Amino acid sequence: MEIIIGGIALLSLLSARLKWLTILASVTAFLMGLIIFLAFNWQGLVILGMFFITSTLLTKWKRDLKRDEKAFHIEEKKGRSAGQVLANGGAALLAAACHIAVPDPVWLILFTAAFATATADTWASEIGVLSKKKPFHIKMWKTVDRGLSGAISPLGTFAAFAGAFLIGFCFYLLFDTSFLVALCVAVSGFVGNLADTVFGAWFEQKFICSKCKKETESRVHCGVKTARIYGVFWVSNNVVNFTSTLIGGMIAGVLYLWINK
């Protein structure tokens, strides 16, 4: 037990040291790891780790190519913020906390599907941004610049599918569960990612850079403040991510209860 808690602390420290996470984000990640361990043991930590390590590596992967396209230039320098950690892992954390308070097998399903959604979403954006073809925006109904929320490409969609199924497969290997339940988790992760795209397209705020005229999700571009062109003013990328992981988790929870009826 002490060894595992020490391991979580060490990985959190390392994440801050390597600038994967900001200091506050690394403390948040430590507490998240601790609660997940108390709820779902080391197997839960493997699910968290699969999401965290693959997303971090994919963010770093071909970063020179992504630099122009990425919405969040700042995150690459300082590491992911506490807000981003909670946006991706907050829904899963809630499921873990609920399991500690009121143990029930359904919380594990919600937890894993929330991470399947977060993984699908991160893989889709980090891999999809490298698509040779420009992505298609589902609300504007036209092709747009790479890296905008609400746009899809075949490569990004395939990446989302692969990310969700990787978590589903890990879940199948780690926990005493049926193939059908693991499949539900993977499918829910993929559907949660679709919800992410829809929310991103319809509600997420978009800004325009006054210097280069590019549309972006960032409040700062080319060193100047950007102007909001549409979207609901409080709907940031973090709000969209949190909502979609909650939806992905709940879809899996409902499917699970329905299977076991």
| Closer residue to Zn ion in complex, CB, 60/211 | 211
CB of 221 to Zn ion, least distance (A): 4
- Least distance CB 147 / Zn ion (angstroms): 12
CB of 213 to Zn ion, least distance (A): 7
Asked if residue 110 lies in contact with residue 247, where contact means CB atoms within 8 angstroms, the answer is no
Q: What does the alpha-carbon distance between residue 58 and residue 152 come to, in Å, rounded to a whole number?
A: 18
8 Å CB contact between 193 and 247? no
CB-wise, 70 or 221, nearer to Zn ion? 221
Q: How far is the CB of 131 from Zn ion (least distance, A)?
A: 21
Closest to Zn ion by CB, 211 or 228: 211
Name the residue nearer to Zn ion (CB basis): 71 or 195.
71
Q: Is 207 helix (H, G, I), strand (E, B) or coil?
A: strand
Within 102-150, residue ranges assigned H as helices are: 105-128
**CA of 6: how far to CAs of 10, 15, 167, 229, in Å?**
6, 14, 25, 47
- Of 209 and 240, CB closest to Zn ion: 209
The least distance separating Zn ion from the CB of residue 66, rounded to whole angstroms, comes to: 15
Q: Which two tokens stand for residue 72?
A: 């969040």
Structure tokens at 149: 């929320």
Residue 145 DSSP label = -
Tokens of 183: 């499949």
Cβ pair 13, 71 in contact under 8 A: no
Instruction: Name the minimum Å distance from CB 219 to Zn ion.
Output: 12
| Backbone phi, psi, residue 260, to 5° | -90, 15
- CB nearer Zn ion, residue 212 or residue 257: 212
The two tokens of residue 162 are 């692969």
Q: Which residues bind Zn ion (CB under 5 A)?
A: 209, 211-212, 221-222
